[in-house]
Amino acid sequence: MKLFLYSAIGILFVAVVVLGSTVVRLENYRYANFVGFCSDYDIKNPVERINREECLNKMQTRTHWIGHLLYALRII
């Protein structure tokens, strides 16, 4: 019984970490797009659009990942 409980807690913990990291990544992307980072690319050109997407994915908009998580959860 304890093994099942500990396994369930472990699985839920891993799920929370994976989903939290996804929320942080998506909030970073959303905020970079909202603020206008990487806006020097022409989105009508497919090659430049790919470069813009890579730029937005690499952009760091806040100083720490906790800021993204708190903003995405509407705590701040």
Q: pLDDT category, 19, cuts 50, 70, 90?
A: very high
pLDDT of the residue at 16: 96
- 3-class DSSP assignment, residue 74: coil
**Mean pLDDT for the stretch of residues 10-23:** 96
Indicate the number of domains in the chain.
1
DSSP output for 2-71: HHHHHHHHHHHHHHHHHHHHHHHHHHHHHHHHHHTTTTTS-TTSHHHHHHHHHHHHH---SSSHHHHHHH
**Which residue range is the domain that position 16 belongs to?**
2-72
- The model's pTM is 0.82
Q: pLDDT category, 6, cuts 50, 70, 90?
A: very high
Residue 13 pLDDT > 90, yes or no? yes
